[in-house]
Amino acid sequence: MKIEHIALYVKDLETARNFFVKYLGAKSNEGYHNTKTSFCSYFLSFDDGARLEIMNKPEMPDFPKEFARTGYAHIAFSVGSKDLQLYRKCLNYQRKICPGAVFYWQRITSSTGKLRHSF
């Protein structure tokens, strides 16, 4: 079994797309726009085969999010040897992409000796 992709609603679709492309090396498709429903999305592909769909529907409410709640908890990206500078850039984008979401920095050394970082 393999997870085909993960989908994430974002407040600012273009800013989110630019973030994943610029800082995490994603490759984006041309996007999808349903003019009847105003739904828009991009599929972002990463070198290891992982895919993320970012989506937006402008009239969708953006309710406050409780930190401790059931449901989706987090997504982690392994970025190799990137450092704290990348984290700072993520924090700046966080306010635009997912207001209310919490980005955190965790430096993990994998069994191969590469550094992994979670946000």
Given this model, what pLDDT does residue 64 score? 80
Q: Which domains does the chain have, with CATH numbers?
A: 6-59+75-118 (3.10.180.10)
Distance CA 46, CA 63 (A): 30
DSSP state of 68: S
Of the candidates 5, 9, 11, 43, the residue with the CA atom closest to the CA atom of residue 27: 43
Q: Supply the DSSP string of 69-90, one letter for each residue.
A: -SS--------TT--HHHHHHH
Higher local confidence (pLDDT), 86 or 66: 66
Given this model, what pLDDT does residue 74 score? 73
Given this model, what pLDDT does residue 23 score? 82
Beta-strand ranges (E) seen in the chain are: 6-9, 27-28, 32-34, 39-45, 51-56, 106-109, 115-118
Given this model, what pLDDT does residue 71 score? 76
In tens, the pLDDT along 68-119 reads 777 777 777 766 655 556 666 666 666 555 555 555 555 555 555 444 444 4
Given this model, what pLDDT does residue 118 score? 43
How much is the pTM? 0.69
Identity of residue 60: M
Q: Please answer whether residues 66 and 53 qualify as being in contact, where contact means their C-beta atoms are separated by less than 8 angstroms.
A: no
Given this model, what pLDDT does residue 24 score? 85
Given this model, what pLDDT does residue 57 score? 94
In tens, the pLDDT along 27-63 reads 999 999 999 999 999 999 999 899 999 999 989 888 8
Please tell me the chain's helix, strand, coil percentages from 3-state DSSP, rounded to the nearest 5. 20, 25, 55
